Structure 1
Amino acid sequence: MSVMDKLKQMLKGHEDQAKTGVDKAGDMIDERTQGKYRSQVDTAQQKADEFIDENRQDNPPQ
């Protein structure tokens, strides 16, 4: 089983909590780096949110 498969299993039913965690982690990184890497952090947050949305339990892949 790949790491991505394990992530998908862990996310099932907890998508909203995962998105909240991604946002909080990104905000913490921005704060600690004083915004030095804000654009990279924002990109990573966006990609993580897209991954979560694509693998939502109530939104099966097409």
Structure 2
Amino acid sequence: MGIMDKLKGMMGQHPEKARQASDAAERKINEKTGDKYTSQVDQAQRRAEGSLGMTDKPEQPPT
């Protein structure tokens, strides 16, 4: 099971833990690469979170 599968499983019941796991993965990758690819890692994290429906702010219903 890959990281995306784990995050997808967490999203249903524990969205905050899923975000924390995503951030931890980003930090670990940056650590392993010596922060050489931080912008690419950040972009990949955003895309992954976007595909899982993990947004920075909860969507507000239209008024």
TM-score range, shorter chain: 0.5 to 0.7
Per the TM alignment, residue 16 of structure 1 is displaced from its structure 2 partner at its CA by 0.9
Consecutive unaligned residues in structure 2, runs of 5 or more: none
Provide the C-alpha distance between the structure 2 equivalents of 1:18 and 1:42, rounded to a whole number of angstroms: 16
What residue number does 1:40 align with? 40
Per the TM alignment, residue 46 of structure 1 is displaced from its structure 2 partner at its CA by 1.6
Residue pair 2:19, 2:54 contacting (<8 A) in 1 also: no
Structure 1 SS opposite 2:13: coil
Q: TM (normalized to structure 2)?
A: 0.60
What residue number does 2:53 align with? 52
1:12 partner amino acid: G
What residue number does 1:19 align with? 19
Q: Percent of pairs identical after alignment?
A: 33
Consecutive unaligned residues in structure 1, runs of 5 or more: none
Residue pair 1:19, 1:52 contacting (<8 A) in 2 also: no
- Figure out how many residues of one structure are paired with residues of the other and give that number: 49
Provide the C-alpha distance between the structure 2 equivalents of 1:53 and 1:30, rounded to a whole number of angstroms: 21
Sort the Cα spacing of 1:17 and 1:52 in 2 relative to 1 into closer, same or farther, 3 A: farther
CA RMSD of aligned residues (A): 2.4
